[in-house]
Structure 1
Amino acid sequence: MKYTKVCTLSDLPDDEGLKVVEGDTAVAVFNVNGKVLATQDRCSHAKWSLSEGGYLDGDVIVCSLHMGKFCAHTGAVKMAPPWKPLKKYPVKVEGEDVFVAFEDGYFEAEQSKSKVMDG
């Protein structure tokens, strides 16, 4: 895997994501209770930026456009209107430096509308 340095731990805002871009790939990086996680930056429902138009509620990413919710750990939909999960990106932290593997995004949680939980 090719990792690219995207920021330092101190660059990550509290309760929201930081948008980082390499080529055509935009990723939102989150500090969730001390664990650094990365997802696609665009909501799977309305293509709204999750780093610039969303926030964290504990370990849940909330899209402020239509209030859809995603698990920050798995990308799974927690509350509609989205029904497609978010793509996750591998992250590593070395000292204070945060790295993302932009070319290795994956879907951890495959789900359908019937699995969407209210909450």
Structure 2
Amino acid sequence: MAHKTRIMSLNEIQNNEMRTVMVNNRPLLIARTHDRVYVTDDTCSHHQCSLGTEGFLEGDCVICGCHGAKFDLVSGQALALPATEPVQTYKTVLEGDDIFVYI
């Protein structure tokens, strides 16, 4: 069963910014774009690259900086080769100024 865990305050991440955070010893990508917050696994499904460290945002997608794989932040679906497998996405909620993820 998923547990609700606070990640950070909304004011700690700017619009069109992303970063890697550790939650329960798991690296997660948190991205804020178009005033929405998304959380996915931080590791590219093609190669073990950090999306938060090596990648960049393009709309509601993250592109891996290692080989150009592209993932939808909403569904986790792989949108561009070389990735063919999705990344895990997580339910995210805002409560006041706090960002929570269900993991």
TM-score of the pair, normalised by structure 2: 0.90
CA contact under 8 A between 2:16 and 2:34: conserved in structure 1? no
Residues 36-92 of structure 1, C-alpha deviations (whole Å, 9 max, x = no match): 111000000111111111111111111000011011111011100011001011111
Which structure shows the higher strand fraction? 2
**Aligned-pair identity (%):** 28
CA contact under 8 A between 1:54 and 1:63: conserved in structure 2? yes
- Specify the alignment match of 2:39 in structure 1: 38
- Specify the alignment match of 2:22 in structure 1: 21
Structure 1 CA distance for aligned equivalents of residues 32 and 73 of structure 2: 10
CA positional deviation for 1:14: 4.1
- Specify the alignment match of 1:99 in structure 2: 100
- Specify the alignment match of 2:85 in structure 1: 84
Structure 1 CA distance for aligned equivalents of residues 80 and 20 of structure 2: 23
Structure 2 CA distance for aligned equivalents of residues 7 and 99 of structure 1: 8
- Specify the alignment match of 1:61 in structure 2: 62
AA of the residue aligned to 2:44 = C
AA of the residue aligned to 2:78 = V
Structure 1 CA distance for aligned equivalents of residues 37 and 79 of structure 2: 20
TM-score of the pair, normalised by structure 1: 0.79
**Structure 1: gaps of 5 or more residues:** 103-119
Structure 2 CA distance for aligned equivalents of residues 13 and 53 of structure 1: 18
Structure 2 CA distance for aligned equivalents of residues 18 and 7 of structure 1: 11
AA of the residue aligned to 1:77 = A
AA of the residue aligned to 2:59 = G
Structure 2 CA distance for aligned equivalents of residues 3 and 20 of structure 1: 15
AA of the residue aligned to 1:33 = H
3-state SS of paired residue (1:45): coil
Whichever of the two has the greater Rg, that structure is 1
